[in-house]
A and B are shown apart, each in its own frame.
Chain A
Amino acid sequence: LAKTTQPISMDSYEGQEVNITCSHNNIATNDYITWYQQFPSQGPRFIIQGYKTKVTNEVASLFIPADRKSSTLSLPRVSLSDTAVYYCLVGGPNTGFQKLVFGTGTRLLVSP
């Protein structure tokens, strides 16, 4: 199971772009990279998932280099409501019922 490493915390201001990088050096060929967001007193919420190159949705972009040993979650023009904990998870369909492991995540604080 691929282990992930991400910064414990990050600070930003409203309107800035935030990039959170996750390292997953031993990612397997069939593994996908998934990011979740968790607000206080709520369960985690799916943000974005990717396998390689770049994925974009209405919330964020996910950049994955060719070697796939890391990935970067990009949040454009953050607002106060983006203050949350962000988790990077790695797992794939060929690993059976292998569980996804949530690390401690990255705590993002957005200030006015």
Chain B
Amino acid sequence: EAGVAQSPRYKIIEKRQSVAFWCNPISGHATLYWYQQILGQGPKLLIQFQNNGVVDDSQLPKDRFSAERLKGVDSTLKIQPAKLEDSAVYLCASSLGGGAGGPGDTQYFGPGTRLTVL
């Protein structure tokens, strides 16, 4: 079974530029998550999709971050414009269930995209 795919793996941009990340979840997984992980910290959930609907985006900085999940499969996360503090690893994960933490809600993570904002 193929895992969660993400691209690119690395990205270096200057502040005020735009950047987009792509995620392809495991086939059949209804729930997709985007996390931001700053060096030395645990992953912080930015947005959670159930199929193609947003169920939690309370920690997404909506003035600069946006995300979509077209047709309930692939997803893109965009930052426009980027700030220095956006330097982090952006992780995509998917799960079969609704993501509340019980059986069947195991999250499978991709390798992440390391973003450096100069």
Q: Which of A43, A87, A89, A104 contacts B101 (CB 8 A)?
A: A89
Residues A25-54 near B (CB distance < 8 A)? 30-32, 34, 36, 41-46, 49
- Pair A97/B56 contact, Cβ less than 8 Å: yes
How close is B49's CB to chain A, nearest CB, in angstroms?
10
A103, B101: Cβ atoms closer than 8 Å: no
Size category of the binding interface on chain A: 20 to 34
Is A94 on the interface with B (CB-CB < 8 A)?
yes
Q: Are B44 and A92 in contact (CB-based, < 8 A)? A: no
Of B14-22, B79-87, B106-114, the stretch lying at the interface with chain A is B106-114
Query: Contact at A30–B110, with CB atoms within 8 Å?
Result: no
Tier of interface size on chain B:
20 to 34
**Is B100 part of the binding interface, using a Cβ–Cβ cutoff of 8 Å?**
yes
Which chain B positions have C-beta within 8 A of A44? 43, 91, 93, 107, 109
Is the CB of A100 closer than 8 A to any CB of chain B?
Answer: yes
A80 CA to B111 CA in the complex, in Å?
21
Q: Is B98 an interface residue (CB 8 A)?
A: yes
Q: Is the CB of B100 within 8 A of A104?
A: no
A43:B102 contact, CB within 8 angstroms: no
26 A-B contacts, Cβ less than 8 Å apart? A31-B101, A32-B102, A34-B101, A43-B4, A43-B93, A44-B93, A46-B107, A49-B103, A85-B42, A91-B101, A92-B100, A93-B97, A93-B100, A94-B100, A96-B98, A97-B48, A97-B100, A99-B48, A100-B45, A100-B100, A100-B107, A102-B42, A102-B43, A102-B44, A104-B42, A105-B42
In the A-B complex, list the 7 residue pairs whose CB atoms are closest, starting with the nearest.
A91-B101, A43-B109, A93-B102, A102-B42, A97-B55, A46-B106, A102-B43
Extra 16 A-B pairs, beta carbons < 8 Å, given A87-B42, A97-B50, A98-B100: A31-B101, A41-B111, A43-B112, A46-B108, A92-B100, A92-B101, A92-B102, A93-B98, A93-B102, A93-B103, A93-B105, A97-B48, A97-B100, A98-B101, A99-B56, A99-B99
